[in-house]
């Protein structure tokens, strides 16, 4: 059985410079992914169609959004596929508005929210790898080695 992919969706093409950082760790682990622009506000029919088919194709969805940032929450409301949210920095409030909008999910609609911007996008990719690794022993082994290498790369003393 072929492993399901990860979806990376964003509310606007202008979110890609941030969201592309999610692909770094996915590429490193050889995890397949699809990308799409899916606006909760401007393309609601596209969102309904995407969310309706998500469980057939994806193990996790990474959703980036700025400003009102409804895309992660609306996606999570329409599918049981885990949604990992990335608040994209906005011009007005540097992503604080995005972060607050995303984390204020009502009880019963879970969204795993990461940090604002590029670090959040990278970590969203890492969470997606961790989700896949729960059912893939080889991937889990590679992830454990990656984490061990990350730990060993930190020096004991200042040089």
Q: State the binding site for substrate.
A: 12, 15, 42
Element (H, E) at 128: helix 118-133
Binding residue numbers: 12, 15, 42
Give the pair of three-digit tokens for residue 109.
């609609």
**Backbone torsions φ then ψ of 144, nearest 5 degrees:** -60, -40
- Per the CB < 8 A criterion, the answer to whether 40 and 139 are in contact is no
CA–CA gap between residue 17 and residue 12 (Å, rounded): 11
Residue with structure tokens 């790898």?
129
151 CB contacts (<8 Å, ≥6 apart)?
A: none
CA–CA gap between residue 54 and residue 92 (Å, rounded): 32
């Amino acid at each position: 059985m072929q492993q399901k992919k990860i979806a990376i969706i964003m509310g606007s093409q202008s979110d890609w410079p941030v969201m592309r950082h999610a692909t770094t760790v996915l590429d490193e682990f050889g995890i397949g992914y699809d990308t799409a622009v899916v606006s909760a506000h401007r393309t609601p029919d596209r969102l309904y169609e995407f969310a309706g088919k998500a469980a057939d194709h994806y193990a996790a969805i990474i959703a980036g959004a700025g400003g009102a940032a409804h895309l992660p929450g609306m996606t999570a409301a329409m599918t049981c596929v885990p949604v990992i949210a990335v608040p994209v920095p906005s011009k007005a409030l540097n992503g604080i508005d995005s972060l607050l909008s995303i984390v204020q999910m009502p009880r019963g609609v879970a969204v795993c929210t990461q940090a604002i911007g590029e670090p959040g996008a990278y970590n969203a990719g890492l969470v997606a790898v961790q989700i896949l690794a729960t059912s893939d022993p080889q991937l889990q082994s590679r992830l454990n080695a990656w984490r061990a290498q990350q730990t060993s790369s930190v020096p004991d003393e200042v040089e």
